[in-house]
Amino acid sequence: MRQQGVDEAQSIRTERQAEQGAVGAEAIFTNAVRTTSSTSGSFTADTRAVRQSAVGFAGDLFFESDTGLVYYADTGTSWKYLAGIGFGSNATRAGLTISTDDNGAWFFVTDAGINYGLWRVVSGGWVKELLPASPDVLTEYRVNGNRVVNARKTGWTTATGTATRSGFDTTTVTLPQLAEAVKALIDDLHQTAGHGLIGT
């Protein structure tokens, strides 16, 4: 009799938990739809362009489906970055209108080039945080818009003999001393032992 009573109690308890679980799931699903009241704790998703004003939605979360970033409405006045990392081309990253509300947001640039790698918004602007150990630039390196390194110049072979990297007096330098300095420069620039700016 005692065992039968225990079994019946467990059966009733299991049925009750199932009912409560179903109600809980329904409540969670219902709460996932944005309401018009503030501090609702709602979570919605759409593109960054159609994200509505944060006014009146303090505590709500918004997932930007096109950037992969999650924002929260702080006090109902603006959306602030919460979590997530964006992926895309450098043009996509540069095309995002950002401010201090985006501080902390991460974005990984996927196309090759000098801007390839991981970026983060700091003080309302993009800062390059991490580049790969060996970035592969498609065409050239530029500094302030000026080309400083282009594709490798080929047709060069290294010279034999002694390479000298010490300075010399241009008024008294001998031809062998000058040749040793030229060899050192070619070695340092060549692909086989140097920077790779020139090569065979």
Share of the chain above pLDDT 90, in %: 51
Work out the end-to-end distance of the chain between its first and last CA atoms, rounded to an integer number of angstroms. 95
Residues 116 and 71 placed together within one structural domain of the fold: yes
Q: How many Å apart are CA 12 and CA 133, to the nearest integer?
A: 62
Q: Kindly state whether residues 98 and 171 are assigned to the same domain.
A: no
114 and 192 both lie in a single domain: no
What pLDDT score does 156 carry?
Answer: 94
130, 164, 188: which is the final residue of a domain? 130
Residue 188 lies in a domain: yes
Q: What is the mean pLDDT of residues 183-188?
A: 94
CA distance 54 to 119: 26
**Residue-range definition of the domain harbouring residue 55:** 32-130
Residues 171 and 91 in one domain: no
Q: What does the pLDDT read at residue 124?
A: 95
Element at 14 (helix H, strand E): helix 2-31
pLDDT for position 17:
57
pTM of the model: 0.49
For the ranges 30-34, 36-40, 137-141, 191-195, the lowest mean pLDDT is seen at 30-34
How far from chain centre, in Å, is Cα 125?
Answer: 13
Residues contacting residue 136 through CB under 8 Å, at least 6 positions apart: 112, 116
Examine the domain organization and report whether 123 and 157 are in the same domain. Answer: no
| Residues 36 and 105 grouped into a single domain | yes
Domain shared by 74 and 38, yes or no = yes
Do 118 and 168 share a structural domain? no
Domain count, the chain: 2
Is position 178 within any domain? yes
Please check whether residues 122 and 162 belong to one and the same domain: no
The residue-averaged pLDDT of 88-108 equals: 94
- The amino acid at 152: R
Summarize pLDDT for 122-181 with one digit per residue, the tens. Answer: 999 999 887 766 666 677 777 777 888 888 999 999 999 999 999 999 999 999 999 999
- Please, which pLDDT band fits residue 31 given cuts at 50, 70 and 90? very low
Whether 169 and 105 share a structural domain? no
Does residue 4 lie within any of the structural domains? Answer: no
Q: What pLDDT, on a 0 to 100 scale, did the predictor assign at position 32?
A: 41
Give residue 20's pLDDT. Answer: 54
Answer yes or no: is 142 within a domain: no
pLDDT score for 4: 54
